[in-house]
């Protein structure tokens, strides 16, 4: 049986992951308004990934016979000053989520909860990948932001992303 403190923290993380999905879906809509369909697709896929992360935690709590408590999801921003600012916000958000995962790992260690610690290792690896992908996208956007042709080429390139 999972400790109540761990279950509460995991329920909060479900909320963080659902907010991430909302945030990226909002970014997708913003990119659609800019006519950047490739970036919109990239963020839509990212939103689905975040929903998958929330469900992974949800399923783990169910397997542990813990109560799942779905919390209110805060409203994400609807627009940004620019494409670059939106991608910067996504990168900062991924770093924030990494911090939240690290807090969960620390809690699992403090509670001597080996099962949850093992479960969370997937999220540690996933966050390394998430930060890397978002940072690489940010670097490319910064290089292309002042060159319309390069930006449109990048939009086409990121629109080729396939769902996992």
For residue 157, pLDDT beyond 80: yes
Residue located via tokens 């397997």: 63
Q: What is the pLDDT of residue 64?
A: 97
Q: What is the pLDDT of residue 163?
A: 79
| CATH code of domain 4-158 | 1.20.1260.10
Model pLDDT for residues 32-47, shown as the tens digit of each residue: 999 999 999 999 999 9
Residue located via tokens 């970036």: 39
For residue 164, pLDDT beyond 80: no
Q: Chain-wide mean pLDDT for the chain?
A: 96
pTM for the whole thing? Answer: 0.94
For residue 16, pLDDT beyond 90: yes
Distances (CA, A) of 2 to 15, 34, 59, 94, 147: 19, 46, 13, 27, 53
Domain segments of the chain: what residues? Answer: 4-158
- d(C-alpha 87, C-alpha 4), whole Å: 36
Give the confidence band of 162 by pLDDT, cuts at 50, 70, 90: confident
Give the confidence band of 8 by pLDDT, cuts at 50, 70, 90: very high
């Amino acid at each position: 049986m999972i400790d109540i403190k761990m279950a509460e923290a995991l329920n909060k993380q479900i909320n963080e992951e659902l907010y991430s999905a909302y945030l990226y879906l909002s970014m997708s809509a913003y990119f659609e308004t800019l006519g950047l369909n490739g970036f919109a697709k990239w963020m839509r896929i990212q939103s689905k990934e975040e929903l998958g992360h929330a469900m992974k935690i949800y399923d783990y709590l169910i397997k542990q016979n813990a109560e799942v408590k779905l919390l209110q999801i805060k409203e994400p921003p609807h627009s940004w000053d620019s494409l670059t600012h939106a991608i910067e916000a996504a990168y900062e958000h991924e770093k924030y989520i990494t911090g939240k995962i690290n807090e969960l790992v620390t809690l699992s260690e403090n509670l001597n909860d080996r099962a949850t610690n093992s479960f969370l290792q997937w999220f540690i690896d996933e966050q390394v990948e998430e930060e890397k992908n978002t940072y690489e996208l940010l670097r490319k956007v910064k290089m292309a932001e002042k060159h319309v042709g390069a930006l449109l080429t990048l939009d086409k390139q990121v629109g080729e992303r396939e769902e996992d």
